[in-house]
Copies of this chain bind each other. A is one copy, B any other.
């Protein structure tokens, strides 16, 4: 099964919104929610993709030809690659009927764990979304990261408990989710959190806590002040606020401010192993890739996910090799040209 075959199959069953495009760049689905599109004018997902393309990699092959090690040490675990599947919730709302939140999570979490990486899972107004997600993670011995929406603290505590029961090795909160159009005026309500509230949330768990949805240095410093272990530089694929900068634009300044104090992840328009390399060169410890994993699940199930992971992993290894870096630690900022 090739990646092109996965895309072709996905086009037959991924619903009416996603087009399973050859390159997932936010154009065909612009301003289309439900579905994977971005909010408002809808140019943020497009910008996310485009800005990575403006960053170029500096080839240098005059170096010893050692094997390339793509593995990431994170939170006491070793991942085969420094990329994660991003969280998706309400699968039926956005992507048609082939999968539901249970079957989707079962396939994705399992396939990722088997391939040596971890999936973030989603959350939703429907409590079943988190239930199915944490059950899937539990089946893989905790190798997955539940992502809780910024509900009221009681609801968050319940979901934290579910994550703990699943032995999830880390837990995340997409702090920007209040901007999702389909969460507006729903129950439980989602909303912004002060540093104090976030501090309380961090203390609800004893596993590493990841704040997803940071786009400014100020926000990163607040996440650090709240005790977060990691941030995800993310604008939620443009789905929570229109006309944000691309994550590629803000990553390096955020990394300059908090690198070494928290782990730094980034998502948004990362579509190749070369893009993963660029993100690491700009200061990220790892990246999240979201929509293409949906396509991989719909187009190929567990095998599709495996194929996709190996594709991106091979591209990353190739780029590392061609730029003279044999491990993630050797990837330095001078290996890209902005």
A contact residues, total (Cβ < 8 Å) = 58
The verdict on A41 contacting B23 (CB below 8 Å), with A62-B193, A62-B198 known, is yes
CB distance from A242 to the nearest CB of B (A): 5
CB distance from A113 to the nearest CB of B (A): 27
Query: A235 interface residue, CB < 8 Å from B?
Result: yes
Question: Across the two chains, which residue of chain B brings its CB closest to A323?
Answer: B241
Judging by beta carbons under 8 Å apart, are B274 and A40 in contact? yes
Contact with A192, one of B62, B213, B315 (Cβ below 8 angstroms) = B62
Query: A162 interface residue, CB < 8 Å from B?
Result: no
Most chain B CB neighbours (cut-off 10 Å) among A59, A60, A226, A240: A59
Looking at A82-90, A93-101, A125-133, A174-182, the stretch in contact with chain B turns out to be A174-182
CB distance from A184 to the nearest CB of B (A): 8
Query: A222 interface residue, CB < 8 Å from B?
Result: yes
Judging by beta carbons under 8 Å apart, are B64 and A240 in contact? no
Query: A327 interface residue, CB < 8 Å from B?
Result: no
CB distance from A63 to the nearest CB of B (A): 5
Question: Across the two chains, which residue of chain B brings its CB closest to A277?
Answer: B243
Judging by beta carbons under 8 Å apart, are A59 and B244 in contact? yes
Looking at A50-58, A114-122, A289-297, A299-307, the stretch in contact with chain B turns out to be A50-58
Contact with A215, one of B58, B63, B191, B315 (Cβ below 8 angstroms) = B58
Judging by beta carbons under 8 Å apart, are B178 and A62 in contact? no
The complex is assembled from copies of this chain, and their number is 4
Query: A69 interface residue, CB < 8 Å from B?
Result: no
Query: A188 interface residue, CB < 8 Å from B?
Result: no
Contact with A235, one of B59, B63, B249 (Cβ below 8 angstroms) = B59
Query: A218 interface residue, CB < 8 Å from B?
Result: yes
Judging by beta carbons under 8 Å apart, are B61 and A192 in contact? yes
Q: How far is the CA of A179 from the CA of B274 in the complex (A)?
A: 13
Judging by beta carbons under 8 Å apart, are A62 and B243 in contact? no
Question: Across the two chains, which residue of chain B brings its CB closest to A337?
Answer: B245
Query: A223 interface residue, CB < 8 Å from B?
Result: yes
Query: A9 interface residue, CB < 8 Å from B?
Result: no
CB distance from A225 to the nearest CB of B (A): 9
Judging by beta carbons under 8 Å apart, are B223 and A322 in contact? no
In the complex, 20 of the A-B residue pairs with CB atoms within 8 angstroms, ordered by the A residue number, are A40-B315, A55-B243, A56-B245, A57-B241, A58-B215, A58-B245, A59-B213, A60-B216, A60-B222, A61-B219, A62-B222, A62-B223, A63-B194, A64-B197, A65-B191, A65-B194, A176-B322, A179-B318, A241-B274, A249-B337
Listed in ascending order, the chain A residues whose CB lies under 8 Å from chain B are 23, 40-41, 43, 53, 55-65, 150, 175-176, 178-179, 191-195, 197-198, 211, 213-216, 218-219, 222-223, 226, 235, 240-245, 249-250, 272, 274, 278, 315, 318-319, 321-324, 337
Shortest 3 CB-CB contacts between residues of A and residues of B? A65-B191, A64-B194, A65-B192
